[in-house]
Amino acid sequence: MKELTKAEDQVMQILWKLEKGFVKDIVEEMPEPKPAYNTISTIVRILETKGFVDHKAYGKTHEYFPLITKEKYTKFYLNNLLKGYFNGSFQNLVSFFAKENKLDAKEIEKILHELKNK
């Protein structure tokens, strides 16, 4: 699996939400200023080439749907993030976010308690 570009990720987020849709449906869900129809069409076809989406043809129009679940991609992305930026260490990741978000000991204990209960 390859990592998605920012534009590809934005389209996939919409397709995961919609579960299936035509290019016009994706464009409608995009924030303002909305990209051109052809831009989204190109991105969807790239996603299809990468194996992230497939389509069902209705004459000349195509309805697209995800082949990769959001959960599967999230796991892949986070594992790459962990390996690439935190030397594969979950402890380094948690430490980084604790420092960045200025978590105090009480908040960290609460997080640990929730993790233990799951």
**Amino acid 89: pLDDT:** 86
Domain boundaries, the chain: 6-66, 70-117
CA pair distance 40, 54, nearest whole angstrom: 15
Predicted pLDDT at 101: 85
Residue 30: CB atoms within 10 Å: 14
The yes/no answer on whether domain 6-66 falls in CATH 1.10.10.10 is yes
pLDDT at 8: 98
Q: pTM for this structure?
A: 0.82
Helix (H) or strand (E) holding 53: strand 53-58
**What whole-number percentage of the chain has pLDDT above 90?**
69
| Closest by Cα among 89, 99, 92, 24 to 62 | 24
